[in-house]
Amino acid sequence: MSELTHRRPDGAVHMVDVGGKPATRRVARAEATLRTRPDVIELLAAGRLPKGEAIGVARVAGIMAAKQTSTLVPLCHPIPISSVEVDFAVGDDHVTVTAEVSTVGGTGVEMEAITAATVAAISLYDMVKAVDRLAEIDAVRLLSKSGGKSGDWVRS
């Protein structure tokens, strides 16, 4: 990483030209965690929150968010997304959202996976806030990525 890729020689930021990069299969996984009380988790898991069934709403929100990443993150390229999977692991006092995004293209989908996981967690918060305004979202992070010039990476 000897040079900054998103800066021109004059110091101004710009969008990197990925037009010459070969199209390869690229996959990224990310997660975010919503923390709340056990009684709220029971309501969420049973689909009995005041706003209704949270998991389905959050899944659709995450999928939609992945597709809108380039409009939210200024230097991201609009890319053809091949698939978005958003899954939920419900614990005693938390829900971990995992998002996996794939494409065949010249740039990766790390930001799309992080955006999908985060927006799904935000949607869960929106669904539980009527019963727990102290709920928190944390542990937003990239878990893995594959494909492209830099190859595969997995969080240890």
Structure tokens at 2: 């000897």
H or E stretch at 47? none
Segment 71-107, tens digit of pLDDT? 999 989 999 999 999 999 999 999 999 999 999 999 9
CA distance 128 to 39: 11
Query: 99-148 pLDDT, tens per residue?
Result: 999 999 999 999 999 999 999 999 999 999 999 999 999 999 999 999 98
Structure pTM? 0.91
Residue with tokens 């037009």: 19
What share of the chain has pLDDT > 90, as a percent?
81
Return the axis-axis angle of helices 110-128 and 38-46, rounded to nearest 10°. 100
Q: Measured between alpha carbons, how far apart are the two ends of the chain, in Å?
A: 21
Q: pLDDT tens for residues 14-33? A: 788 787 788 899 999 999 99
Place of tokens 């614990």: 91
Residues carrying an active site annotation? 126
Per CATH, which fold does 24-144 belong to? Answer: Alpha-Beta Plaits (3.30.70)
